[in-house]
Chains A and B, each alone.
Chain A
Amino acid sequence: MSGRELALIGGMAAVTFLVRYAFFALGERVAFPPVIQRSLRYVPVAVLTAIVVPMVLLPDGAHWQLNWHNAWLLGALVSGLIAWRFNHLLASIGGGMLVFFVYRWIVG
């Protein structure tokens, strides 16, 4: 393992543990201010969407692919549809990947 990897893992481990442990460490009943509590609820949606949308619309990281040749877009749309209709994560992942790989194989 390189020094850079060691720093990465050590840093991520420390950050993750501190977030998980901060309140356990206090050991008393503590409550978030309501505005923080509210804000935290939007974090997963905001972060994950911010990662996935550019991935899907610009698969090579540089060029817009707003067309039907874009397997990423098609696969993600299928994943989203399954998730929306059935609320089943694994089915949504499996369905999206199936469409993605079949479509890439067909389009070449």
Chain B
Amino acid sequence: MPHARHPRRWTEIWTGARDSLPMLLGAAPFGIIFGTLAAPSGLSAGAALAMSLCVFAGSSQFIALTLLASGTGLAVILVTTLVVNLRHALYSATLLPHVAGLRQRWRIPLAFWLTDETFAVVQHRYGAPDRSPHKHYYYLGSCLAMYSNWFLWTLAGVMLGRSVPRLEHMGLEFAMAATFTGIVVPMLKNRPMLGAALGAAAVALAARGLPYKLGLMLAALAGVVIGVLLEQWQEAA
């Protein structure tokens, strides 16, 4: 038993799920809100559940709903999804050294299930000093917990949306504005970040009349460019 002193596979899976618990609770309201808002935004119950199962990316699912509700076309939604999810490429680049030795049948599902939450706990586990060969089972445990959690809360939201008619007039979509505000504000810790936010806001407001939500893409681009320029300027100073 060469690995006897290391946590067993099942222990790793269980610990990964357990360490994700706060984030399971945190994801619950978003799953409910997503499921509830699906129908008023023009997405059927089946499509909402399928989206949670096949896409499994909370923020882009929310944004897709917002864009759908305003009649945005498919291509713009897909480009927005790409931009919103680009940060996942950074996560996978960071985790790559730890999964590079795994077979594709591991790497494919672990990539599919990679979320902000799982990245946070798994990165912490890989940083632990023990040399357990089963850390990818911990990663798997976090993934399975987050995935089933997201699906179940989406289902709960879809059912809630059906039992409460005219939900779209209750202003629940404000939850999205509150969520995005709560995520963005703590990130505004320095001038480049603040500049990126202000620049993106200004361009989004100025270009809001453009078709296909092109203003959103321009605003994102402007924000990123301003942030990078300010950072370089700060370093040079």
B108-152 interface (Cβ within 8 A of A):
108, 110-112, 114
Chain B interfacial positions (CB closer than 8 Å to A): 26, 29, 43-44, 46-47, 50-51, 54-57, 59-61, 63-64, 66, 68, 70, 74, 77-78, 80-93, 95-97, 99-100, 104, 107-108, 110-112, 114, 171, 174-188, 192-193, 196-197, 199-201, 203-205, 208, 215-216, 219-224, 227-228, 231
Interface contacts (Cβ under 8 Å), in number, total: 263
Main secondary structure of the interface of A (DSSP, over half): helix
Min C-beta distance of B179 to chain A, whole Å: 5
- A49 contact set on B, CB distance < 8 A: 180, 184, 196-197, 200-201, 204, 219, 223
Can you identify 17 A-B contacts, CB atoms within 8 angstroms? A8-B51, A11-B77, A11-B81, A12-B51, A15-B81, A19-B88, A28-B100, A32-B93, A45-B227, A50-B201, A55-B66, A83-B182, A83-B183, A93-B175, A93-B178, A97-B174, A100-B178
Please count how many residues in chain A sit with their CB below 8 Å of the partner chain's CB atoms.
71
Min C-beta distance of A84 to chain B, whole Å: 5
Assuming the contacts A89-B182, A93-B175, asked whether A12 and B81 have C-beta atoms less than 8 A apart, the reply is yes
